[in-house]
Amino acid sequence: MSTEQTLREAATNRDFRIGAALAARALRSDPSYWKAARNEFNAVTPENALKMGPLRPSPHTYDFTDADAIVDFGRENDMYVRGHTLVWHNQKPEWFQAWDYTDDQLRKFLRDHIHTVVGRYRSSIDAWDVVNEAVADDGTLRETVWYDALGEEYLDLAFQWAREVNPEADLYYNDYGADAINEKSDAIYDLLERLLERDVPIDGVGLQFHALAGRSDPESVAENIRRFQDLGLDVQITEMDVANAVDDQPEDPLAEQADYYREIVEVCLETDCDTLVTWGVHDGSTWLRNFKDFSKRYTDDPLLFDDGYEPKPAYDAVKGALSGTDRS
């Protein structure tokens, strides 16, 4: 038996949370997936099971089967559990399309949803992505069903409703494409500043980090993290994966990928950002394999373990950075 420490041990020794997004079906059916999730990570996010679509098969029913399975797995294995996500424009229930609601009905629906879901996991979910991806790529507020019915106030309400039911959980705003200083992260900064001025109970910001190898800018990422921290917000890396660009492959794509992961872990350690969740356990479970638009541009091997659950150079890079043994 190997005596070398696992990634989980390296992270725990450093008071760091290293996480993976999980799917209930794989946890049930694939012992290697289950084992890697338990042995190598000390944090977990349900990848899809807590989204409104999967949770709400019909207007008045909930299906918590998969969400419970993942949250229970996390608790039983002493992991930090992130809840993802309460309000999003995507993965809404299918029946929503045909629902001819009034603004008030939508407001009541969202309030009930947040109260029920946050309430159910009051003692088992540590942090919530309350609102996901509310800002469009050009920095304006995204026109979603929530925005169209309730205006910017939908963010205030969502955070308030979550806090009402669980004063203990940390509440995050989560988004992609805002990892470094850019137009979008500027807009998110302004939005969160406005929320804080209005005393909205928000504790942090999640930077997703769906990234491309070879294009990291660690200094800008560190500056971005620090400016959110200066607002009084915690910063977590919530959905990290690092693909290579299909049309611009470096000589050693896995090494390039490893470098990216290493640099970002080092930024985390420098800036006291203590949580980094990868968006899947192994390459076989990456979302990129199901999204054709992305697969034209991104390679589909963005995670720390390969298809056979063998640790990749990126795994060694993350572990090395966390244990202080990586000198490259």
| Binding stretches for ligand G3I (CB under 6 A) | 47-48, 90-91, 132, 176, 208, 239, 287
Nearer to ligand G3I, 66 or 316 (CB): 66
Surface-to-core class of residue 36, CB atoms within 10 Å of its CB (0-12 exposed, 13-18 middle, 19+ buried): buried
Cβ of residue 155: shortest distance to ligand G3I, in angstroms? 17
Maximal CA-CA distance, the chain: 62
User: Quick check: is 4 catalytic?
Assistant: no
Q: Which is nearer to ligand G3I, 208 or 244 (CB)?
A: 208
Q: Of 40, 133, 256, 263, which is the active-site residue?
A: 133
The first and second tokens of residue 224, run together, are: 């971005």
Which residue in the list 239, 256, 270, 310 is annotated as catalytic?
239
Q: How many helices (H) and strands (E) does the chain have?
A: 13, 9
In whole angstroms, how close is the CB of 214 to ligand G3I at the nearest point?
A: 20
Nearer to ligand G3I, 128 or 176 (CB): 176
Nearer to ligand G3I, 241 or 316 (CB): 241
User: Closest approach of Cβ 161 to ligand G3I, in Å?
Assistant: 20
Name the residue with tokens 């890396």: 237
In this chain, which residue has its C-beta nearest to ligand G3I? 287
- Nearer to ligand G3I by Cβ, of 179 and 239: the residue is 239
Q: Is 152 considered catalytic here? A: no
Structure tokens at 46: 């349900």
Task: Quote the least distance from Cβ 142 to ligand G3I, whole Å.
Answer: 13
Peptide bond into 85 cis (omega under 30): yes
Confirm if 110 and 154 have CB atoms less than 8 A apart. Answer: yes
DSSP states of 184-223:
HHHHHHHHHHHHHHTT----EEEE--EEETT---HHHHHH
The structure tokens listed for 95 are 């029946």
Q: How far is the CB of 23 from ligand G3I (least distance, A)?
A: 7
- Residues 72, 275, 139: CA angle, nearest 5 degrees: 110
- Pairwise CA distance, residues 216 & 268, whole Å: 14
Handedness of CA 146, 163, 179, 79 (dihedral sign): negative
Question: What residues are labeled active site?
Answer: 133, 239
